[in-house]
A = this chain, B = another copy of it.
Amino acid sequence: MSVKQIANLIADDLDRVEEAIATHLESDVSFISEVSNYVLSSGGKRIRPVLLILCARLGNYVSERVYDLCTVIEFIHTATLLHDDVIDNAHLRRGNPTVNARWGNEISILIGDYLYAKAMELSLQDKDHLVMETVARVTKEMAKGQVIETLKERDLSISEDDYYRIIALKTAALFEGSCTIGSLAAGLSPQQRAHVSAFGYHLGLAFQMADDTLDFVAPEATLGKPVNNDLKEGKITLPVIMALPLATEAEVALIDAYLQNPDATDTDFQAVIDILNQYGTLQSTMAKAQAQVEMAKAQLVDFPPSTALETLLTLADYVTTRNV
């Protein structure tokens, strides 16, 4: 099953999610709708809403709730992108100019704030206290993860533990939250919910590890943004972290020089990649991502067979086999 086939399986649901997103973006300030629509319809994969819906389909799926909850998750995700792009001074996302590139940093910050608040407001409409708490907690954890990431920028002493802590907070928390909220909407038992949440958590870790590998190897056209944003911005991810203790002093110095040089060239970058390839850390990062996928899938062993379950397991594999 490809991700396209997965999407086809829940195509009607996804159409309804798009409708819900469009409805909740309506504002008496047309500019807010315009900018929000621009960023929200720029070809995001909607992987978090898909997870939420599929987890809800493991239980008593109630469609009316689910679409609004998908909107909550997608608004939070989009708000973080809007703030990230200001922080990273990014100019392209998914092949399009970023909001900050097109309308300026203030608009990107403020529409991000607006979407956070709107997400919170929508989560309250659900009236399920656990849903609201999950939304607020996840939002807090994402900010916390990004703070820690910022503190560790260009710091070669960053450990694997630091890395896992960062990606758990900045990425896995929202994957876990999407699955938790899906299972809450579907009335799964607390025990089932714990498994579904853990599934989302491990999948989120795998997703970020795959992302961090793709940042080194995917061609720019595939990513829709410049290749190797991360290291240029001083973000030291697992492929580099694992290479550092294996590398020679000269190699470490080369990586350090790359991190400190805002004018580093493609040739300089290729030299870094050569080091990672020499120690095989791009492959070993993907292997660790695949191990997280297996841990995710293992959480679902006690659920009875269903299309939703099968689709979730396929989606899990997609996370490490995608090229974008």
If the complex has contacts A120-B120, A132-B132, A146-B110, are A31 and B139 also in contact, measured as CB distance less than 8 A?
Answer: no
Interface flag for A298 (CB, 8 Å): no
Interface flag for A253 (CB, 8 Å): no
Chain B residues whose CB sits within 8 angstroms of the CB of A104 once the complex forms: 150
Chain B residues whose CB sits within 8 angstroms of the CB of A106 once the complex forms: 87, 146, 150
Minimal Cβ-Cβ distance residue in B for A151: B31
Please measure, in the bound complex, the distance between the C-alpha atom of A164 and the C-alpha atom of B70, giving whole angstroms: 35
Interface flag for A1 (CB, 8 Å): no
Prevailing SS type, chain A contact patch: helix
Interface flag for A318 (CB, 8 Å): no
User: How would residues 117 to 155 of chain A score, 1 for a CB under 8 Å from any chain B CB and 0 otherwise?
Assistant: 110110010010100110111011011101110110000
Contact between A132 and B140 (Cβ–Cβ < 8 Å)?
Answer: no
Interface flag for A301 (CB, 8 Å): no
Chain B residues whose CB sits within 8 angstroms of the CB of A105 once the complex forms: 86-87
Please measure, in the bound complex, the distance between the C-alpha atom of A136 and the C-alpha atom of B75, giving whole angstroms: 14
Please measure, in the bound complex, the distance between the C-alpha atom of A148 and the C-alpha atom of B35, giving whole angstroms: 13
Chain A contacts to B: CB under 8 angstroms = 27, 29, 31-32, 83, 86-87, 104-107, 109-111, 113-114, 116-118, 120-121, 124, 127, 129, 132-133, 135-137, 139-140, 142-144, 146-148, 150-151
